[in-house]
Amino acid sequence: MRLISPSVLSADFGRLNEEVDIINRSEADFLHVDVMDGVFVPNISFGFPVMKALKARSQKPLDVHLMIVSPEKYVERFCDAGAWSVGFHLEAVDDPMPALQLIRNKGVRTCLTVNPDIDIHRLDPYLGEVDMVLIMSVFAGFGGQSFIPETLGRVRYIRSEIDRRGLDTLIEVDGGINTKNAKDVFDAGADVLVAGSAVFQASDPLKAVQMMKHG
């Protein structure tokens, strides 16, 4: 699959509705919602009020990426706020299963995420437990960073594991993705590409989405 999830983190928050409308008009498949708590990552983005505004305006499903400690305390509220999927970092918890169960109980799709320095094999036991895995291609915390090329090998490994086991778990990749490298990331086996600055800072965001999806 070749799906695109523009990250609203790179949008102009002073004109959020207009920015969401651009994504509504685009060929994007999701809107990616980056929630940062200033503890798990050294940055703070936004929380429920902004999530609510996005839900009210977006015609695309909301793909929520929680970069927070204790995700089990908040996942249900993001489900109730209208998330299509809720993901959190494996390295933020001792055991991901309780928070995954809370999300599943709400009928929302589950996602587990790992930063670039986390042993990719730590995802192995959960590939059959989640709807999607999110492989970070930059260190979570900020938009506008450069894609870490070693990510491609990690994506290929997870693709081979998912295929070998006959699973339908989606692979999402997030960070530093642009119109130039999107094809390589899809070719490595990704299903969903997150792109923030490459969409919202583009002179023609609709074209940027189109190029990543079909290029």
Applying CB under 6 A, which of residues 87, 175, 189, 205 lies at the interface with ligand DX5?
175
Residue 87 or 189: the one with the smaller Cβ distance to ligand DX5 is: 87
Binding of ligand DX5 by 140 (CB under 6 A): yes
Residue 88 or 169: the one with the smaller Cβ distance to ligand DX5 is: 88
The CB-of-46 to ligand DX5 minimum distance in angstroms stands at 12
Residue 183-212 contact track with ligand DX5, rule CB under 6 A, x = bound: -----------xxxxx--------------
Applying CB under 6 A, which of residues 3, 9, 81, 86 lies at the interface with ligand DX5?
9
Burial label, 12 (beta-carbon count in 10 A; 0-12, 13-18, 19+) = exposed
Separation of alpha carbons 205 and 215, rounded Å = 14
The CB-of-63 to ligand DX5 minimum distance in angstroms stands at 10
DSSP states along 150-191? THHHHHHHHHHHHHHTT---EEEEESS--TTTHHHHHHHT-S
Binding of ligand DX5 by 6 (CB under 6 A): no
Binding of Zn ion by 34 (CB under 5 A): yes
Give the CA-trace dihedral at 19, 21, 25, 29, to 10 degrees.
80
48: left (phi over 0), alpha (psi -120 to 50) or beta: alpha
Applying CB under 6 A, which of residues 3, 86, 135, 138 lies at the interface with ligand DX5?
138
184 is catalytic: no
Helix (H) or strand (E) holding 102: helix 97-105
Chain positions 144 to 203 lying near Zn ion, rule: CB under 5 A, are 174
Helix (H) or strand (E) holding 35: strand 31-36
Of 169, 176, 207, 168, nearest to 193 by C-alpha is 176
Binding of ligand DX5 by 42 (CB under 6 A): no
- Provide the token pair at 67: 């970069």
Query: Binding partner of residue 196 among ligand DX5, Zn ion, none, CB under 5 to 8 Å per kind?
Result: ligand DX5
State the angle between helix axes of 16-25 and 205-214 in degrees (0 to 180), rounded to the nearest 10.
Answer: 40
Q: Which of 29, 37, 131, 174 is catalytic?
A: 174
Binding of ligand DX5 by 87 (CB under 6 A): no
**What letter represents residue 139's amino acid?**
F
37 is catalytic: no
Residues catalogued as catalytic: 34, 174
Residues that bind Zn ion (CB under 5 A): 34, 65, 174
